[in-house]
């Protein structure tokens, strides 16, 4: 796996390597929200490429 360009994660740039979100976030992260507002649940992490910008969520989000 090659080193990717810097990715903005939770407001800080990080160099990430991997093929999917599942490869780069800790196991306690339940979901992520991408820079364009897309919500991605942990069940979809292994199928989702690493976005250029995302924020991790560690608590369940209830849709209102």
Kindly write down the DSSP assignment for every residue of 45-59, as one continuous string. Answer: GGGSPPPSEEEEE-S
CA distance 3 to 38: 24
Of 9, 1, 18, the C-alpha closest to 52 is 9
Q: Decide: pTM greater than 0.75.
A: yes
Digit-coded pLDDT (tens) for 11-52: 999 988 888 999 999 999 999 999 999 999 999 999 999 999
């Amino acid at each position: 796996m090659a080193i990717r360009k810097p990715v903005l994660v939770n407001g800080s740039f990080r160099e990430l390597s991997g093929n999917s979100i599942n490869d780069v976030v800790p196991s306690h992260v339940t979901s992520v929200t991408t820079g364009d507002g897309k919500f991605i649940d942990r069940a979809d992490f292994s199928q989702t490429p690493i976005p250029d910008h995302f924020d991790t969520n560690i608590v369940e989000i209830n849709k209102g």
